[in-house]
Amino acid sequence: MENKLSQAFYSKALEYIPGGVNSPVRACKSVGADPVFIAQGAGARIWDVDGREYIDYVASWGPLILGHAHPEVIAAVTEAAQEGTSFGAPTWREVELAQLICQLVPSIEMVRLVNSGTEATMSAIRLARGYTGRKKIVKFDGCYHGHADSFLVKAGSGVATLGIPGSPGVPEEIVANTISIPYNDLKTLKEVLDTQGDEIACVIVEPVAGNMGVVPPREDFLPRLREWTEQRGIVLIFDEVITGFRVALGGAQELYQVKPDLTCLGKIIGGGLPVGAYGGKKEIMNQVAPEGPVYQAGTLSGNPLATAAGLATLKVLSRPGTYEALEARAEALAQGLAEILKGLSLPVKMNRVGSMMTLFFTNQEVVDFNTAASSDTKLYGRYWRAMLAEGIYLAPSQFEAAFISLAHGREEIDETLNAAAKVLKGLI
């Protein structure tokens, strides 16, 4: 594979950027490859700096649900940029975006915009602690909530990919207040809530896990979580940074009909520009400064370009039939892959919720991090490299999701299935 320019950029990057990348999973270490440097994207496709074309299932790790360089998003960002890129003062698009989020996400009555998913989750747990006057937080093994100190305990995504148990630099005193328990495990959850409930400020959960690969919630997991936290005055936080506007217009809370107290958003609401948000019940959100005492701020928060891209994206997503179209494409891909796998004796399990899916290279049903971790990551690496050679760009880790966008049409799905048929046969 001709990749001279990617190699040259990577060599230079290694001199100036730790590991040559600005986020660890991009380094492709776990799939035994060097990163491909991307030059441009359009619709479902991207091109690397050496001119090779790929069908993209990373979608910037989820934000690009409309595909790359969607004309309405580009027009909105261009118009906003011509008016000025940042003011550090209130602007009208922030209010429009906040209103739209409150209208579309069932549990959100008020929302604060920030610059990343990490800022959103970090601020949400501070708010939950401030509101309840309690210190402990509960999270689930293999879920990833960004890289704030409190979350770097048995975390998913790059932390799981690189096999890092926690992180040096995170004080023990901080993570002593983080309890991490298995996903989908109601028995352990009940025990923890029964024994430590009055010290617990919040439970934070990915309502569909995406950062240990895709793991759907068991049928009673979210309803019990809601019921038991409410009974104990614990704030329930849905981290919908991936699932927000992905699995339904109103996110996982709409899909599963469970309302959290606070919701964290990011990715799609920025249409590919840096953004995050946390919102929920007015009674809790009113505790945020300057209305209340819980401090949180941001120089670029509510940025005109990011809010313009987010508004344009949400407007397209709000059109009738959008999620049905997305589901049809994802289902076609999933069915095609299932057909291919049926004829092969490969240890592969597929998990999918709407337009997010993962092929786990294991014989076990994947319901939590332990079962996800039973995957043969070396085999995934072989699959990834062979798919890349066929022009299919997948997440360079077993513990991530593949994202289907509205730009993935029949042509892209068929090309992907042809490649997968060839590659999966070659793995036997």
Ligand X SMILES: N[C@H](C=O)CCC(=O)O
- Does the footprint of ligand PLP cover residue 118 (CB under 6 A)? yes
Cis link prior to 90 (omega < 30° from 0)? no
Longest CA–CA span in the chain (Å) reads: 61
Applying CB under 6 A, the span of 206-214, 278-286, 337-345, 405-413 interacting with ligand PLP comes to: 206-214
The only residue of 11, 23, 257, 318 in contact with ligand X, by rule CB under 6 A: 23
Q: Does 25 bind ligand X (CB under 6 A)?
A: yes
Comparison of 62 and 197: residue with beta carbon closer to ligand PLP? 62
Q: How many CB atoms lie within 10 A of CB 363?
A: 12
Residue at token pair 């809601």:
226
| DSSP calls for 169-188 | TS-HHHHTTEEEE-TT-HHH
- Number of H-type helices and E-type strands within the chain: 15, 14
Q: For the sheet with 402-403, list strands across it.
A: 349-353, 356-360, 402-403
Task: Report in angstroms how near the CB of residue 400 gets to ligand X at its nearest.
Answer: 5
What is the Cα–Cα distance from 199 to 129, expressed in whole angstroms? 10
Distance of CA 204 to the CA centre of its chain: 14
Q: Is 121 in the site for ligand PLP (CB under 6 A)?
A: yes
- Report CA-CA distances (Å) from 419 to 55, 360, 404: 11, 18, 16
Q: Is 400 in the site for ligand X (CB under 6 A)?
A: yes
Q: Does 41 bind ligand X (CB under 6 A)?
A: no
Q: How far apart are CA 19 and CA 23, in angstroms?
A: 9
SS3 category, 125: helix
Active site residue 414: no
Query: Pick from 180, 211, 243, 362: which binds ligand X (CB under 6 A)?
Result: 211
The one among 124, 159, 215, 242 contacting ligand X by CB under 6 A: 242
Among 144, 361, 384, 399, binds ligand PLP (CB under 6 A): 144
CA dihedral 216, 218, 222, 223 (to 10 degrees): 150
Nearer Cβ to ligand X, position 217 or 396? Answer: 396
Query: What's phi and psi for 45, nearest 5 deg?
Result: -115, 150
- Site membership for ligand X, residue 158 (CB under 6 A): yes
Residue 136, contacted partner among ligand PLP, ligand X, none, CB below 5-8 A by kind: none
CA–CA gap between residue 253 and residue 321 (Å, rounded): 19
Question: Is residue 12 among the annotated active site residues?
Answer: no
Tokens of 45: 């496709």
Span interacting with ligand PLP, options 127-135, 144-152, 280-288, 374-382, rule CB under 6 A: 144-152
Residue 351 binding: pick among ligand PLP, ligand X, none (C-beta 5-8 Å cut-off by kind): none
Considering beta carbons, is residue 192 or 388 the nearer one to ligand X?
Answer: 388
Would you call 190 a catalytic residue per the annotation? no
Angle at 327 between CA 206 and CA 243, to 5 degrees: 15
Residues of span 71-100 touching ligand X by CB under 6 A: none
Q: Which residue has the tokens 């440097």?
A: 37
Q: Tell me the closest approach of the beta carbon of residue 209 to ligand X, in angstroms.
A: 11
Residue of 175, 167, 229 lying closest to 204 (CA atoms): 229
Of 376 and 400, nearer to ligand X (C-beta) is: 400
43 binds, among ligand PLP, ligand X, none (CB under 5 to 8 A by kind): none
Total residues interacting with ligand PLP, rule: CB under 6 A: 15
Residue 146 binds to ligand PLP (criterion: CB under 6 A): yes
Interacting residue ranges for ligand X, rule: CB under 6 A: 23, 25, 61, 144, 157-158, 211, 242, 400
Enzyme catalytic residues: 144, 239, 267
Interacting residue ranges for ligand PLP, rule: CB under 6 A: 116-118, 121, 144-146, 206, 210-211, 239, 241-242, 266, 276
